[in-house]
A and B are shown apart, each in its own frame.
Chain A
Amino acid sequence: MTEPLLRVENLQIDFQTEASLVHAVRGVSFDIMPGQTVALVGESGSGKSVTALSVLKLLPAVATYPAGSIWFKGQDLLAASDQQIRAVRGNAISMIFQEPMSSLNPLHSVGKQVSEALILHRGMSKAAARLRAIELLEEVGIPDPKSRLDDFPHLLSGGQRQRVMIAMALANEPELLIADEPTTAIDVTVQAQVLALLRELQKKRGMAILFITHDLGIVRKMAAVTHVMTHGEIVEHGPTAELFANPQHPYTRKLLAAEPKGEPPTTDLYAEPVVTAEHLKVWFPIKRGLLRRTVGHIKAVDDVSITVRRGETLGVVGESGSGKTTLGRALLRLIESEGRIAYLGKDIDKLSWGGMRPLRKDMQIVFQDPYGSLSPRMSIAEIIAEGLAVHMPTLTVAQRDERVVQALREVGLEPNDRNRYPHEFSGGQRQRVAIARAMVLEPRFLVLDEPTSALDVSVQAQVVDLLRALQKKRSLTYLFISHDLRVVRALANEVMVMQGGKVVEYGPARDIFAAPRTAYTRALMAAAFEVEAVSEVGR
């Protein structure tokens, strides 16, 4: 039996807050063998990231360690001095973070950031470090690394930035790589590439990986051993295949069952079209020079025609930058666009801001980020009632409040909580509030802009169920924007796939899911459903 590379024993982490002591991690133990991939899975707030950060003692000063030890090659990292820890950081153990945008310093060139660790830990000369940096960038699959070396991070795409992060982490040939949600912030097709890269590098170098994620699909692809965390405790662990095939703990079962399910509405070609758009274009001019002449356009939405019929859902699918959000906002006339937009047969694309106001009641939107879309300074009741004051000014204060209560009940929230502020609610509850804000105006057409992307999987399924129930009850019409085909499959009866502002594929959901015609759609499908395909073969 070989010695484990990293052994975490009964780790406890507390956070001292003003009011109380929060036990973020309560007695977590796990081992990582050399060359092994171990996954910590859990939803937000489960303590998985805190555990990972504690390995390199990267937690803020308010964190205390009442018990436990972290053994790395015979050294207790928790007891190590700052100097000893610094020798380990980025050297024997390195880390990649979730957000490639903010993890790279925008003021330094890529090459400088990669070679920094080499100069620091290896004492390499600048020239030698530069050569090694080129090798590393080549290894992580950056095309033409020599010329990319002096580029600044903003010139790279999200996937490339994450690759640079990996190159930095690998610079000193670590024995353990801690990957904290390395693919959450990047597009699904790129996600698959980054994961493949990690697997390949691991095989080549024989390093161990501690993988932190909330995405069960990734875990199934990557990890040999999985630990399921909730509320600061590991509730279940075991070899990944076994754990997925035969989950014991109710929480694991809940996570596995949390995939959105259910049937979308049926297509009725004779239903009245609610929103129609013909040859819709949203072009943002690129202006250059002293006189700000327009030298070109960014074609965010380029010649898109859609029809959404009453009671049905059009799913708009695409990766970031594909123009799907812009399309949703253009349909609601929140941004300028060209081309005909009709609502219930009436042209609205020429209406002024004031002319649109009466229609705003009928056409509402729910945004992606439930933390950003609610004003932190207003209570839930004020947020929901805000639109009522504009569109139903004749309501008395009492009637308005009654509507707020109704709306809250409809989305499954406790009406007594309506005088609380958004920060007192969880992400899922906040998204319900955002839905209630739209619903209270009794709209007919609702743009749902990634309403589930920021939520934990188990909450996602609940929000999907809520949306479907509301649609049925009020025969609502949805434009559902998402990058997640699993959610789209559960909600949309028609699907439009967008890439670079153009429509790639548009038709009944069933047909597209059964036989995707373009390579792009197939890639999206693979990213979303590959996991299931693999596991079905495995059985």
Chain B
Amino acid sequence: MHVAALRLGSPPLAFAPADAARSAPLLSPINRRRLKVFEANKRGVWSLWIFLVLLVVTMASEFVANDRPLLASYKGELLFPVVVDYPETKFGGFFAETSYRDPFIADEISANGWMLWPPIRYSYRTVDEALSVPVPSAPSWLQSAEVRCGLFSAGVDDPNCNLGNYHWLGTDDQGRDVLARLFYGFRISVLFGLILSVLSSAIGITVGAMQGFFGGWVDLIGQRFLEIYGAIPQLYLLLIISSVIAPSFWVLLGILLLFSWTSLVGIVRAEFLRARNLEYVAAARALGLSSLTIMVRHLLPNATVATLTFAPFIVAGSVTTLTALDFIGFGLPAGSPSLGDLLSQGKEYLFAPWLAITSFLTIASILVLLVFIGEAVRDAFDPRKTFAVRL
């Protein structure tokens, strides 16, 4: 449309030649102002960048912490173990799946080629067979070389006793690498939080919009339903449901969605109730626009401000809920890399402080980052800040 507007600026319409039709900028002026306010909040900007970097890195957890090499060359053939499952028979073993950490396979591949490992040679479920101390074991850099390399065949001089096999943050009670689980756990927590927030926002906005726009009986019934629904003790119901249905990622998401969608309804409804009486909405009705068009084009943008302002806090809330469920053992299925599970281990093994400290710091940083981002977003959408300098 704007391109066409430019093209139309041709002689038959006799525009002032000096100033050809100014095309609309990418962001409306008010949004540019908001972006400026957001950028002015340095803490929020830094938090956003840190959060994004963490998100991108953990999204690629398979390439950072894995018990399979990134690349391998075996008898002249280039292999991609991270993405392709090669049967162990290929390397002279017996199993359907190759265990690249197995000394037998590792020696076989090394003899006939090479392997390129990720920085951490454990996946979230890899049990370290080479531990010479009882689990949970302390971070490798706290141990002497003898202890660290105790079970390797050549002891301290074994080539496998290297930084890649370090447990930087120790292991948990099953001998799994904490740092690896942290990567995967961060990913699953944040993904869970984001997906839950998007879905519950979508439902909440739709319901709120209908209530606010149509008002009357729709609104009345909706409000009463929400009041009753909101009075249900959520946590207990979640416990009951998740003890009946075997929880998987998606089942858990669905269960939590049952309750989280209500958080935005009130705000969106209020915005729609307010905005449907604005004159430009009345003007749109007088133009004969359909209800759906009016809701999407004229009313939704008003509600977006409230929604976006809340988004980071909703994500933080979702992360917390998942962690809480995991902590009491009703969350993700056993063996999943979850922060709540790590936290409960920390509580159980007080003599292994690396568990508690790690999980606490991780959860705290996620929440702190999200809240800082949320504060900056809130500032950006605050009309008093956006227009503070205007009279």
Contact = CB atoms under 8 A, between A and B. Distances in A.
B17 to A, nearest CB: 10
A423 B283 CA distance: 18
Contact of B5 (A18, A418, A441): A418
Interface string B1-35: 11011011100010110011111100011100000
A227 interface: no
Contacts of A50: 391
A373 B289 contact: no
A232 to B, nearest CB: 13
B22 to A, nearest CB: 5
B286 A360 contact: yes
Contacts of A418: 5, 21
A417 B20 CA distance: 9
Interface stretch (B230-238, B274-282, B327-335, B372-380): B274-282
Given A397-B1, A418-B5, A356 B22 contact: no
Contact of B13 (A386, A402, A423): A402
B30 to A, nearest CB: 7
A374 B15 contact: no
A356 B288 CA distance: 8
A488 interface: no
B28 A419 contact: no
Contact of A402 (B8, B21, B279): B8
Contacts of B279: 367-369, 372-373
Contacts of B287: 360, 364, 386-387, 390-391, 437, 441
B391 A434 contact: no
A533 B349 CA distance: 95
B283 A419 contact: no
Contacts of B283: 365, 367, 373-374, 434, 437
B224 interface: no
Contact of B28 (A16, A369, A402, A421): A421
A415 interface: yes
A362 to B, nearest CB: 10
B7 A419 contact: no
A373 B280 contact: yes
Interface in A51-83: 60, 62-63
Interface in B279-305: 279-280, 282-289, 297-298, 301
Interface in A422-439: 423-424, 434, 437
A321 interface: no
Contact of B391 (A62, A368, A378, A398): A62
A420 B7 contact: no
Given A373-B280, A397-B1, A401-B8, A420 B22 contact: yes
Interface residues of B, number: 38
B389 interface: yes
Nearest to A424: B29
Nearest to B23: A419
A387 B288 contact: yes
Interface string B92-135: 00000000000000000000000000000000000000000000
Interface residues of A, number: 52
Contact of A386 (B1, B289, B391): B289
Contacts of B9: 416
A374 B388 CA distance: 22
A197 B15 CA distance: 56
Given A367-B283, A401-B5, A416 B29 contact: no
Contacts of B2: 419
Counting chain A CB atoms within 10 Å of each CB, the highest count among B5, B19, B21, B284 belongs to B5
Counting chain B CB atoms within 10 Å of each CB, the highest count among A24, A369, A379, A417 belongs to A379
Nearest to B36: A18
A386 B284 contact: yes
Contact of A414 (B1, B16, B30, B282): B16
A365 B2 CA distance: 27
A416 B10 CA distance: 12
Nearest to A385: B1
Interface in B237-283: 278-280, 282-283
B68 to A, nearest CB: 50
Contacts of B30: 376-377, 421, 423
Contacts of A357: 288
Interface string A370-407: 00111111110100001100110000011001100100
Contacts of B23: 419
Interface in A1-53: 15-18, 24, 50
A414 B388 CA distance: 30
A334 B288 contact: no
Interface string A132-167: 000000000000000000000000000000000000
Counting chain A CB atoms within 10 Å of each CB, the highest count among B9, B283, B388 belongs to B283
A135 B297 CA distance: 54
B21 A416 contact: yes
A361 interface: yes
B391 A416 contact: no
Contacts of A378: 297
A275 interface: no
A397 B4 contact: yes
A401 B4 contact: yes
A424 B22 CA distance: 13
Given A397-B1, A424-B29, A391 B288 contact: yes
B138 to A, nearest CB: 54
A332 B13 CA distance: 34
B231 to A, nearest CB: 21
A390 B288 contact: yes
A373 B280 CA distance: 4
Contacts of B22: 416-417, 419-420
A329 B283 CA distance: 11
B15 A415 contact: yes
Nearest to B31: A377
Nearest to B391: A15
A381 B1 CA distance: 10
Contacts of A437: 283, 287
A332 B29 contact: no
A390 to B, nearest CB: 5
B308 to A, nearest CB: 14
A381 B389 contact: no
Contacts of B389: 15-18, 62
Nearest to B389: A17
A405 B28 CA distance: 21
Contacts of B282: 329, 334, 365, 367, 373
Nearest to A420: B22
Contacts of B15: 415-416
A334 B284 CA distance: 11
A441 B289 CA distance: 13
Interface string A345-359: 000000000001100
Contacts of B28: 377, 379, 421
Interface string B362-391: 000000000000000000000000001111
A275 to B, nearest CB: 15
B140 to A, nearest CB: 53
A261 B24 CA distance: 38
A265 to B, nearest CB: 24
A62 B390 CA distance: 9
Nearest to A434: B283
3 smallest CB-CB distances across A and B, nearest first, come from: A360-B288, A373-B279, A387-B287
Given A17-B390, A416-B22, 5 more contacts: A62-B391, A360-B288, A398-B4, A416-B19, A421-B29
29 contacts: A15-B391, A16-B389, A18-B36, A24-B391, A329-B282, A334-B286, A360-B286, A365-B286, A368-B279, A373-B279, A373-B282, A374-B280, A375-B298, A376-B30, A377-B301, A379-B24, A387-B287, A387-B289, A397-B4, A398-B4, A401-B8, A402-B8, A415-B13, A416-B9, A416-B16, A416-B20, A418-B5, A421-B29, A423-B29
Interface of B: 1-2, 4-5, 7-9, 13, 15-16, 19-24, 28-30, 36, 278-280, 282-289, 297-298, 301, 388-391
